[in-house]
């Protein structure tokens, strides 16, 4: 391990913090962002827009190369936004972590998936923190943004960083600020979603506040664990409410009541109700995963998280429910068995208007429908060719079909898994005899469209 520069280690954090806050006010802070994915890249952009210098770090050399060419690897972030970042002269992407020494703040935006037994997989966070520990400087602020269980910053990050010989809250600041980015959301982006910041001392909180305050209003909370719990609470709230409407969908469906019509009417109540929508099951890097971080941690306190477990069970039963509805509809409306029939999955991404297919229910559809003997293809304007996905190797290399009546006409049934806004359903409704819609994408009541 390279020795940190300890020449300033006798300067109290109070003075370091004041200097940091002044630099933030004067837009002189240099920000390092580790992990340039769906979260890190827009965050880098937000700081650059406010005139701060940003160094983006990633272990993926291909991503750095693409960025250096002024291009984007995220579909909903156009190339022009990347070239504007470079054009400002304020952005640099690199795989050289020695540059961590040149920045005032290091923000960690690396993945936090689940392991094989639904336990938190902090390997990316730990590897990143070990790298930072080799370069951490007196007066720096290190802030974790990745979603995780309460206690991670103090129990995992702090001891690793202190292997440097420097101490958190004394020589450098440690903060947690959960990322609330909602990729593809046209209304709210990194620059308009308030940022919760937690730290153990007033000085560290002041540093984090000043840093994030350059891009958005901040919401300071008293400590690191509270900030970690805020993010989990937000995502657990979504997971549980989505499970509730998914359950209502099944129950109302059996009663011949359209759950979408129920929600449209219910949401006119100006208080006490918030609309959540049913779907084919949970997807993405957050909602299906994050709640189980709390489940795991709660066990250490001898506690169960029954709501989370139940929501997980209901949500993960949804793809099976949709497939049963599809089989029934094929039988009733077309007199067709599944084996040998051709099905088109519309939307491979886990949600509309993004190219992210992590945990997407569409992947499970492909697997399960093939198991039942169906010939499966897909259409997704955001994903022309399916990339490699660890849990679904069979999907890699599949290509999105052309969207025209001739190409669509060869399918017996279409299954709408994701409702991208740029899909015109008119040719589909002319060409295919049965459409199973899990998203209420087709609003008209048409005999050949079945909600599932």
Ligand X SMILES: NC(=O)c1ccc[n+]([C@@H]2O[C@H](COP(=O)([O-])OP(=O)(O)OC[C@H]3O[C@@H](n4cnc5c(N)ncnc54)[C@H](O)[C@@H]3O)[C@@H](O)[C@H]2O)c1
Shorter beta-carbon distance to ligand X: residue 58 or 364: 58
**112 is a site residue for ligand X (CB under 6 A):** yes
Query: What whole-number distance in Å separates Cα of residue 374 and Cα of residue 337?
Result: 9
Q: Are 217 and 190 in contact (CB under 8 A)?
A: no
Residues in contact with ligand X, counted by CB under 6 A, come to a total of 26
Q: Which stretch binds ligand X (CB under 6 A): 20-28, 103-111, 338-346, 424-432?
A: 103-111
Q: Which of 4, 20, 24, 38 binds ligand X (CB under 6 A)?
A: 38
Beta strands in 298-407 (DSSP E): 342-346, 375-379
Q: Does 130 bind ligand X (CB under 6 A)?
A: no
Q: How far is CA 376 from the centre of its chain?
A: 27
437 binds ligand X (CB under 6 A): no
* Inter-CA distances, 399 with 246, 376, 383, Å: 30, 11, 8
Residue 286 annotated among the catalytic residues of the structure: yes
CB of residue 18 vs ligand X: minimum separation in angstroms? 30
> Contacting ligand X (CB under 6 A), which of 63, 135, 439, 451?
63
77 binds ligand X (CB under 6 A): no
The single residue among 24, 31, 33, 36 that binds ligand X, judged by CB under 6 A, is: 36
Distance of CA 249 to CAs 106, 259, 303, Å? Answer: 44, 5, 30
Binding status of residue 438 toward ligand X by CB under 6 A: no
CB of residue 60 to ligand X, shortest distance in Å: 4
Beta strand pairing status for 173-176 and 195-199? antiparallel
Q: How far lies 449's CA from each of 15, 137, 229, 256, 434, in Å?
A: 66, 61, 42, 14, 6
Query: How many residues make up the chain in this entry?
Result: 452
Which one of the listed residues 197, 286, 329, 383 is annotated catalytic? 286
Q: Are 364 and 376 a contacting pair, CB within 8 Å?
A: no
Kindly state the smallest distance separating residue 377's Cβ from ligand X, in Å: 27
Cβ closest to ligand X, residue 107 vs residue 450:
107
Please identify, using beta-carbon distances, which residue of 35 and 220 lies nearer to ligand X.
35
Pick the piece of the chain touching ligand X (CB under 6 A) from 31-39, 221-229, 371-379, 406-414.
31-39
Other beta carbons within 10 angstroms of residue 189's beta carbon come to: 16
Piece of the chain touching ligand X by CB under 6 A; list 59-67, 360-368, 389-397, 426-434: 59-67
For the bound state, the minimum distance from the C-beta of residue 37 to ligand X, rounded and expressed in Å, comes to: 2
Helix, strand, or coil (residue 69): coil
Q: Residue 444 and residue 446: Cα distance in Å, rounded?
A: 6
Q: 450 phi and psi, to 5 degrees?
A: -115, 130
The only residue of 100, 122, 230, 286 in contact with ligand X, by rule CB under 6 A: 286
Q: Residue 29 in contact with residue 105, Cβ under 8 Å?
A: yes
Q: Which residue is nearest to ligand X (CB)?
A: 37
Determine contact, residues 173/141, Cβ cutoff 8 Å: yes
Q: Which is nearer to ligand X, 95 or 331 (CB)?
A: 95
Residues 131-170 that bind ligand X (CB under 6 A): 146-147
User: With CB under 6 A as the contact rule, which of the stretches 22-30, 55-63, 80-88, 337-345 interacts with ligand X?
Assistant: 55-63
CB of 125 to ligand X, least distance (A): 8
d(CA 24, CA 26): 5
436 touches 362 (CB < 8 A): no
Q: How far is the CB of 34 from ligand X (least distance, A)?
A: 5
* 3-state SS class at 369: helix
Mark 183-222 with x for binding to ligand X (rule: CB under 6 A) and - for no binding: x---------------------------------------
- What are the beta bridge partners of residue 173? 141
Q: HSE (CB half, 13 Å, CA atoms) of 147?
A: 25
Q: How far is the CB of 63 from ligand X (least distance, A)?
A: 5
Q: What Å distances lie between residue 276 and 59, 60, 422, CA to CA?
A: 37, 36, 22
Q: Is the separation of the CB atoms in 341 and 330 below 8 Å?
A: yes
Stretch that binds ligand X, among 52-60, 99-107, 159-167, 334-342 (CB under 6 A): 52-60
Q: Which is nearer to ligand X, 184 or 213 (CB)?
A: 184
Q: Report the nearest approach of ligand X to the CB of residue 55 (Å).
A: 12
40 binds ligand X (CB under 6 A): yes
List of residues contacting ligand X (CB under 6 A): 34-40, 57-60, 63, 109-112, 124, 127-128, 146-147, 179, 181, 183, 285-286
Active site residues per annotation: 286
């Amino acid at each position: 391990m390279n020795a940190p520069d300890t020449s300033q280690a006798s300067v109290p954090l109070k003075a370091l913090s004041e200097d940091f806050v002044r630099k933030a006010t004067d837009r002189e802070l240099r920000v390092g962002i580790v992990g340039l994915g769906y979260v890190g890249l827009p965050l880098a952009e937000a700081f650059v827009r406010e005139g701060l210098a940003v160094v983006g770090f990633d272990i993926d050399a291909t991503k750095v190369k693409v960025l250096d060419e002024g291009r984007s690897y995220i579909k909903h972030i156009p190339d022009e936004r990347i070239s504007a970042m470079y054009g400002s002269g304020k952005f640099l992407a690199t795989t050289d972590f020695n540059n961590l020494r040149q920045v005032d703040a290091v923000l960690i935006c690396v993945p936090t998936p689940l392991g094989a037994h639904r336990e938190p997989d902090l390997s990316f966070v730990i590897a990143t923190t070990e790298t930072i520990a080799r370069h951490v400087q007196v007066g720096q602020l290190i802030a974790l943004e990745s979603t995780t269980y309460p206690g991670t910053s103090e129990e995992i990050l702090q001891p690793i960083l202190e292997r440097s010989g420097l101490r958190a809250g004394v020589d450098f600041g440690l903060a947690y600020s959960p990322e609330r980015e909602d990729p593809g959301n046209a209304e709210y982006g990194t620059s308009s979603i308030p940022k919760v910041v937690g730290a153990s001392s007033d000085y560290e909180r002041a540093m984090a506040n000043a840093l994030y305050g350059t891009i958005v209003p901040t919401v300071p909370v008293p400590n690191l664990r509270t900030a970690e719990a805020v993010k989990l609470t937000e995502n657990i709230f979504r997971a549980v409410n989505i499970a509730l409407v998914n359950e209502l969908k099944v129950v109302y469906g059996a009663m011949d009541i359209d759950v979408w019509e129920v929600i449209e009417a219910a949401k006119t109540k100006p208080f006490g109700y918030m609309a959540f929508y049913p779907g084919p099951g949970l997807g993405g890097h957050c909602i299906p995963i994050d709640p189980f971080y709390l489940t795991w941690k709660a066990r250490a306190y001898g506690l169960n998280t029954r709501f989370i477990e139940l929501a997980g069970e209901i949500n993960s039963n949804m793809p099976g429910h949709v497939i049963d509805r599809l089989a029934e509809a094929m039988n009733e409306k077309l007199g067709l068995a599944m084996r040998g029939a051709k099905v088109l999955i519309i939307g491979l991404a886990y949600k509309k208007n993004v190219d992210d297919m992590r945990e997407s229910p569409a992947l499970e559809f492909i697997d399960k429908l093939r198991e039942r003997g169906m010939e499966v293809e897909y259409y997704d304007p955001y994903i022309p060719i399916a990339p490699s996905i660890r849990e679904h190797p069979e999907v890699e290399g599949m290509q999105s079909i052309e969207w025209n009546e001739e190409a669509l006409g060869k399918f017996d049934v279409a299954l709408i898994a994701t409702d991208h806004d740029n899909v015109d359903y008119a040719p589909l409704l002319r060409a295919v005899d049965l459409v199973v819609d899990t998203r209420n994408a087709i609003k008209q009541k048409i005999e050949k469209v079945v909600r599932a």
